[in-house]
Amino acid sequence: MNAYKNRVATSFAPETRFELRPAPPAPFRANLESDFERLKNRLLDEHLADNERPELTVPLRRAANEAAALAWVTRYPLLVFPALFEEKTVAAVRQARRQARIYANSPELAVAA
């Protein structure tokens, strides 16, 4: 048993209170989804209409889907999507041109495949 019985004087400051405000709810995504799909389809149709090379159709569609997936997880997908789509389409066209150049420069590899 403890032989020392020293009491420690305690003093408390005035009680501090603060108010918590809940975070605003996420925007209702159903309306946003239809607007987003319309934007995606419109931009994709514009790029496909300007496309002279049919072999770019699949890479452009893939770029649109990748940009849509990335934009959808942001807070403002309608604002982010056009810039992402432009970046992805530039990269897709660059990759397709690079593949075509490699294919043209290596006919012996194309015959072996």
Q: What is the C-alpha separation between 56 and 95, in angstroms, rounded?
A: 10
Condensed to tens digits (0 to 9), the pLDDT of residues 74-84 reads: 888 889 999 99
Confidence of residue 17 (pLDDT cuts 50, 70, 90): confident
What's the CA gap between 69 and 73, in Å, rounded? 7
Measured CA distances, 53 to 14, 57, 77 (Å): 75, 8, 29
Q: What is the pLDDT of residues 20-43, one digit of tens each?
A: 787 666 556 666 678 889 999 999
